[in-house]
Structure 1
Amino acid sequence: MTARRRLRSLRTRLLVFIGVTLVAVCATMALTMVFVQRAYLLGNLDDRVDNAAERSLGGAGLHPELTDDLSFLLASGHPTGMLAARLGDDGDILTAEVVRQDARPRALTDAQRAALAGVRTDGSTHTTTVPGVGIYRVTVAESDGVRVLAGLPMDDVQHMISGMVVVEAAVAVAGLAVAGGICAVVVRRQLRPLDRVAATAAEVSRAPLDRGEVTGLTRVPARDTDPASEAGQVGAALNRMIDHVESSRTARRHTEERMRRLLADASHELRTPLASIAGYAELMNRGTDRIEPVLAWRRVSAESARMTGLVEDLLLLARLDEGRPLQSSEVDMAALVAEAVWDARVTGGDHDWQLELHLDDMPLVLGDGVRLHQVVANLLANARVHTPAGTRVVAVVEARDARCVVRIRDDGPGVPPALLPRVFDRFTRADTSRARATPDSGGSGLGLAIAAAITRAHRGRIGVESVPGRTEFTIELPVMEEASAVPAARRSAASV
């Protein structure tokens, strides 16, 4: 079932629920009103019955010895339909008559008198049916040995209640019709944004997300993304989901492009030494005099070492990506950086190498000393390879606030601005053609990537800032807790 069909089903169920609720509410209110009005009307009628009984008792009390005397019914003021009866000491009906309009009271028949014989003399009002006359509310009054039964017909009360039920039913039906129509309009109007959201979701679901280039997916209109309403929250959430889908696809596309580039670069880097090894081996097999065997073996060994180094770098990155643990020991970063600067000075004697130590705490780091040395060596080699002779390269070690900071700064030409955002990516080089004029003119493009991966494995951070005339790589590593509690002797600076 599509989203729009589900929405229509939801709208129908909602309308049915509202309709049932309205009917229940109206029925409850109508029944309550009927019961309240009936109780009020019966109470009023009972008061009139009591007054009639009191008047009848007063009239019968004038002649108590005349047990069959109902002459008091001839007096004015008695309502039409009123009946009265004299009772004996045992509660038997001695005589009973009913008041008629413009005529003398009519005596009740034996059957009608028998219907009144069961009325209890408890002073309360009772309902009884008198054959041929109707339904009556009757009561018995007693004073000085005189007992009188009086009653009034319930026809007016019943007619009023019946009319009231009819009127309330008509009003309830009309109210339900009006309320149902208003609710239907309101529900449809309130769910209309959800209908548009469902249409957007259906359109996005039809997009070929599993293949091809998918951009510009349909969004929910801004009017349907108001966070103040439930429908707007759904629309905003759908837009965020669509944004995430597009960004995920873009990230996936970039990842695939980087993977293809990684494979191409790795293939090229491996193909070059393999081609050299194959060429020298072929010349040696032919026994030609054009090349000396010793030179050929040297070239084969050099290319093999180059290929081995590349493979080892790739394996190291793979292990770091998998999160494999490194060796863990106490590493003195000041001594480590000093050794790395000394090695760089031996390799690049045409540069000005300097070491500065700014220590408030002991620069002791818990980690793999070999790998951390590789990080510093890679940064120094990067400065040596990509800067001209005579460039000043300064390695700074700082230890303060439970952090050890290593800075490698040079005053060379700097990193090209277009290359700076991805300088730590794998196989990133300024020479995008992969051609190198000399063996030392550039590496494979993995040095900075390895430095970044090792730094992250040690829970540290690495960054770079570069402008023409100043390039600085910064490494931040957490200092061991024991070392941060021991103050350093004093701030010092040294040059190598």
Structure 2
Amino acid sequence: MRKLLPSSLTGRLIVTSVVLVAVVSLLISATATLVMRSYLTDQLDEKVTQSLGPAEFQARENIPAPPVGQTRGQGFGRAVGSIGARTTSTGTAGELVVSGNGGGARELSSRALAALTDVEPDQDPRTVDIPGLGSYRVAARTTPTGTTVWQGLPTKDVDSTISSLIWWESLLALAGIAAAGAAGRVLVRRQLRPLREVAATAHEVIAMPLSSGEIGQTVRVPAQLTDPDTEVGQVGGALNQLLGHVEQALDARHESEQQVRQFLADASHELRTPLSTIKGYAELSRRTGRDDPDQILAKVESEAGRMSTLVEDMLLLARLDAGREVDRRPVDVTRLLVEAVNDARVVDPERQWRFDVPEEPVTVTGDEQRLHQAVTNLLTNASRHTPPKTTVDVRLRVDDKVRIEVHDNGPGIDPELVPTIFERFVRGDSSRTRASGGAGLGMSLVRAIMHAHHGTASVESKPGDTTFTLTLPAS
């Protein structure tokens, strides 16, 4: 069945509309034909019933029928083509009227008479096929004297009228179907024009190079084709939303690719320096034959430790980016912050370290080691990028969430650096002098650890007022 239908939506809609018109035309024609036939048949039956009166009168008054072919005023049937019969003392006699005005008649054949008299008396008229004469509506009646009379009228006028009606209905139905097909083609194509425009937009997007590179803004379905009250508008609006999601996904992919490239370049650069140092000291020791290997080994160990720290940080970032679950246990954030600040005081006594935490313990669910690492990274960042005598305040706030704030009154962060401070291998510039260099992974580790704990990391900075905030879900 599907093979017989057109493949296009336009063709299917046209065929559907034409079929509906054809079905409706057929139903109307059939109903009109049946009603008309019933109406004409009722009229014919009324005439047949009326014709029984004269025949019954002749039988009741015992008026003999004149010889066949002789003109008379009272015959078995009045209309031309009508037939009649009645029982007599010698049997049953029947006649066919062949001329009008009560004129000539001829005797029925035995087969025709037998078919006529087969109709039961005192019943509604019924259709009988009279041999040699055609179809008749026949009725019979029995008089009080016991005589039975039959009368019948031909149905050819009814049949002719119905045949003519069917022919005109068929002609008009075919014309209506043809007109429906032509009008449906025009109207359907016009109504589907917006859908073709939406499809054209989709094809235009397909033709764009989406496999690589930055995509930017793609084409959109025009606003007039995105009305949510129409089916085409719903498709257009959904396509625009889909294109928006695709753009975001492609831009995110491109950004991720760029980050990976930059990450590899930065990691290679960071690893190249200690490797070059180790290689240089090894060659120096081999060529000069110096007797102080301890100094060389100390330098090699220092650079190897630097590489080990960098590799461990990159491995941790890779694991967190891969969605690896962290340990989920109750963590006393209050104790964690107190210990981290006390450690910072020991490591960096040149700065003033203060903390403000609630008296009651505050707990969250997470990995204590990773949370401690995140806080330590923030404290180390404050130590490296602020001048001596700077005050660093660590505050713990609890409402619907748990917030850890690390505030300092140092020179602040360059405004151009703030949006990318949590990216990998991002370092502070000269506005934040640092005592020692880092790989630039500390802040990216803070953000990754917060993300793994379903939290966030943010920063607000201006000269003399810099605050890093870690937000965690409350237990």
TM-score range, shorter chain: 0.7 to 0.9
Q: After the TM superposition, which residues 327-366 of structure 1 pair with which residues of structure 2 at under 5 Å, given as runs?
A: 327-359=327-359, 361-366=360-365
Equivalent residues of 2:216, 2:247 under 8 A apart = yes
**How much does 1:96 deviate?**
2.9
Equivalent residues of 1:60, 1:69 under 8 A apart = no
| C-alpha distance in 1 between matches for 2:82 and 2:330 | 116
Match in the other structure for 1:453: 448
**How much does 1:173 deviate?**
1.8
| C-alpha distance in 1 between matches for 2:232 and 2:154 | 61
| Aligned residue type for 2:352 | D
Q: 1:473 aligns with which of 468, 472, 475?
A: 468
Note if 1:420 corresponds to 2:418.
yes
| Aligned residue type for 1:430 | G
Match in the other structure for 1:236: 237
**How much does 1:97 deviate?**
4.7
Match in the other structure for 2:268: 267
Cα offsets for 1:167-205 (capped at 9, x unmatched) = 212221222222222222121112222223333333333
| Aligned residue type for 2:402 | C
| Aligned residue type for 1:27 | L
C-alpha spacing 1:95/1:271, structure 2 compared with 1 (3 Å): closer
C-alpha spacing 1:191/1:326, structure 2 compared with 1 (3 Å): closer
Gaps of 5+ in 1: 1-5, 481-496
**How much does 1:380 deviate?**
0.9
Match in the other structure for 1:9: 8
**How much does 1:319 deviate?**
2.5
Pick which of 205-214 and 435-444 moved more.
435-444
| Aligned residue type for 1:300 | V
| C-alpha distance in 1 between matches for 2:13 and 2:209 | 34
Q: After the TM superposition, which residues 45-64 of structure 1 pair with which residues of structure 2 at under 5 Å, given as runs?
A: 45-61=44-60, 63-64=61-62
Note if 1:152 corresponds to 2:157.
no
Note if 1:209 corresponds to 2:235.
no
| C-alpha distance in 1 between matches for 2:329 and 2:217 | 52
TM-score, with structure 1 as normaliser: 0.84
C-alpha spacing 1:251/1:182, structure 2 compared with 1 (3 Å): same
Q: After the TM superposition, which residues 26-425 of structure 1 pair with which residues of structure 2 at under 5 Å, given as runs?
A: 26-61=25-60, 63-64=61-62, 66=64, 74=73, 78-88=78-88, 92-98=91-97, 100-102=99-101, 104-111=103-110, 112-130=112-130, 133-144=133-144, 145-211=146-212, 214-215=215-216, 217-287=218-288, 293-359=293-359, 361-401=360-400, 403-425=401-423
**How much does 1:409 deviate?**
1.0
Cα offsets for 1:227-274 (capped at 9, x unmatched) = 322233233333333333333222222111111111111111111122
Equivalent residues of 2:460, 2:467 under 8 A apart = yes
| Aligned residue type for 1:444 | A
Pick which of 214-223 and 39-48 moved more.
214-223
| Aligned residue type for 1:460 | G
**How much does 1:59 deviate?**
4.1
SS at match of 1:358: coil
SS at match of 2:97: strand
Cα offsets for 1:10-40 (capped at 9, x unmatched) = 3223322332332222122212211121112
| C-alpha distance in 1 between matches for 2:474 and 2:235 | 48
| C-alpha distance in 1 between matches for 2:177 and 2:280 | 96
| C-alpha distance in 1 between matches for 2:454 and 2:366 | 10
C-alpha spacing 1:129/1:335, structure 2 compared with 1 (3 Å): closer
SS at match of 2:118: coil
**How much does 1:314 deviate?**
1.2
SS at match of 2:358: strand
C-alpha spacing 1:83/1:95, structure 2 compared with 1 (3 Å): closer
TM-score, with structure 2 as normaliser: 0.87
C-alpha spacing 1:333/1:229, structure 2 compared with 1 (3 Å): same
**How much does 1:472 deviate?**
1.3
C-alpha spacing 1:74/1:450, structure 2 compared with 1 (3 Å): same
SS at match of 1:100: coil
| C-alpha distance in 2 between matches for 1:81 and 1:114 | 18
Pick which of 297-306 and 373-382 moved more.
297-306
Equivalent residues of 1:53, 1:149 under 8 A apart = yes
| C-alpha distance in 2 between matches for 1:479 and 1:224 | 47
Equivalent residues of 2:386, 2:434 under 8 A apart = no
| Aligned residue type for 2:268 | S
| C-alpha distance in 2 between matches for 1:311 and 1:439 | 22
| Aligned residue type for 1:161 | I
Match in the other structure for 1:485: none
SS at match of 2:357: strand
Equivalent residues of 1:393, 1:408 under 8 A apart = yes
Figure out how many residues of one structure are paired with residues of the other and give that number.
Answer: 467
Cα offsets for 1:386-418 (capped at 9, x unmatched) = 2222222100123455x4322111122222222
| C-alpha distance in 1 between matches for 2:276 and 2:375 | 32
RMSD: 3.2
Cα offsets for 1:125-149 (capped at 9, x unmatched) = 1223445654321111112123221
| C-alpha distance in 2 between matches for 1:50 and 1:275 | 126
Gaps of 5+ in 2: none
| C-alpha distance in 2 between matches for 1:436 and 1:297 | 35
Aligned residues with identical type, % of pairs: 41
Equivalent residues of 1:73, 1:99 under 8 A apart = no
- The structure showing larger relative contact order (alpha-carbon pairs under 8 Å, at least 6 residues apart) is 1
| C-alpha distance in 2 between matches for 1:374 and 1:329 | 16
**How much does 1:53 deviate?**
0.9
Cα offsets for 1:414-443 (capped at 9, x unmatched) = 222222222212112234xxx999872442
| Aligned residue type for 2:460 | E
Equivalent residues of 1:362, 1:399 under 8 A apart = no
| C-alpha distance in 2 between matches for 1:211 and 1:369 | 41
C-alpha spacing 1:377/1:129, structure 2 compared with 1 (3 Å): closer
Cα offsets for 1:427-479 (capped at 9, x unmatched) = 12234xxx999872442111111122222333333222223322211223345
